[in-house]
Amino acid sequence: MSTLTTTAETEAPAAAPARPAYRVTGRRVLSSEWAKLWTLRSTWITLGLALLFMVAFGLIASARYKSNIDSGHHMDGDFARSTAVSLSLFGTHFAQLALGVLGVLVTAGEYSTGMIRSTLAAVPRRLPVLWSKAAVYGLVALVVATLGAFVTFGIGSGMISGTPAAMGFSHAGVARSLLGAGLYLGLVGVIGTALGALLRSVAGGISVLVATLMLIPGLISLLPSSWQDNINPYLPSNAGESMFALTHDSTTLSPMAGLLVFLGWTALALAGAAYRLVRSDV
């Protein structure tokens, strides 16, 4: 009997090793969001379109300016006063739509597919998910936009060499304008991310984004001129444009003031998204 007991004790299965405990850290959440961003086909397509818009429209504007100068055709006042910077950044208004839409998809897309439930189950505190999505995508949008701005200026300035608009990287304000355009588009991406988390709808987020950047400035133009002068400079699109404008007048904000105003709009969008994420169920 003692032999049987000994044998049974010997053959008892060993206890399974304990699984290592994994902590949710900011670095791991960032790494997760980075991986999710680049596994989406829409990321590559939309970033490619944004870069294409920046380069193609900037070079088209530069080529048209050069052609008009060489042929002696009449140009309207605004186009005649163009600089190499303004011509190169002509595609910024188109690129902002692509980058903003992708920002909405980064967050609202998870709500439409239901993947957000898995994400928040892995990160129960919720807010690190929003901060990580905004930081990762904002950085990517910043890099793509800045690259597009510098590449377009480098090619476009060569195309209009010898014209009144000709400028080089060494001219005062050029580097600041190009970096400002990249920063503006990076923050547009962050705002898109915030709107997607706030509205939890791809269509709704895109609609609000387009209205904010393109439709509201047009509606403000219907107001009395005294109201326009007090409101226009502080609209998101106009404040953002002052960040990369080469020259300013009394109706526009300075680059630093424009940056602060646009950062305020970005913070407001993120605050709204954070409040709904914490207070509302998925």
DSSP string, 69-104: HHHT----HHHHT--HHHHHGGGHHHHHHHHHHHHH
Q: Is residue 62 part of a domain?
A: yes
Confidence bin at 9 (pLDDT 50/70/90): very low
Confidence bin at 14 (pLDDT 50/70/90): low
Confidence bin at 18 (pLDDT 50/70/90): low
Q: Is residue 135 part of a domain?
A: yes
pLDDT tens digits, one per residue of 21-67: 567 787 888 888 999 999 988 899 999 999 999 999 999 999 998 88
Confidence bin at 98 (pLDDT 50/70/90): very high
Find the range with the poorest average confidence among 46-50, 168-172, 220-224, 264-268: 220-224
Compute the CA torsion angle 87, 92, 95, 99 (nearest 10 deg): 150
10/226 Cα distance (integer angstroms): 92
Average pLDDT, the chain: 87
Given a cut of 60, is residue 16 above it in pLDDT?
Answer: no
Q: Identify whether the C-beta of residue 85 lies closer than 8 Å to the C-beta of residue 167.
A: yes
- Residues with Cβ within 8 Å of 252's Cβ and at least 6 positions away in sequence, in order, are 233, 238, 241, 242, 245, 258
The more confident residue out of 109 and 12 is 109
pLDDT at 13: 52
pLDDT at 120: 83
Q: Is residue 147 part of a domain?
A: yes
Residue 214 has what DSSP assignment? I
What percentage of the chain carries pLDDT values higher than 70?
91
Residue carrying structure tokens 């709107």: 195
Confidence bin at 281 (pLDDT 50/70/90): low
Q: Is residue 19 part of a domain?
A: no
Q: Identify whether the C-beta of residue 188 lies closer than 8 Å to the C-beta of residue 100.
A: yes
Q: Read off the pLDDT of each residue in 197-213 and give the average, rounded to a whole number.
A: 94
Q: Is residue 6 part of a domain?
A: no
- Write out the H or E segment, with its range, that includes residue 29: helix 26-39
Predicted TM-score (pTM) of the model is 0.88
DSSP-based three-state secondary structure for 14: coil
Find the range with the poorest average confidence among 15-19, 125-129, 248-252, 268-272: 15-19
186/182 Cα distance (integer angstroms): 6
pLDDT at 54: 95
Q: Is residue 17 part of a domain?
A: no
Domain count for the chain: 1
Q: Give the structural domain span for 168.
A: 25-279
Q: Is residue 3 part of a domain?
A: no
Q: Identify whether the C-beta of residue 132 lies closer than 8 Å to the C-beta of residue 33.
A: yes
190/132 Cα distance (integer angstroms): 11
130/33 Cα distance (integer angstroms): 10
Q: Is residue 18 part of a domain?
A: no
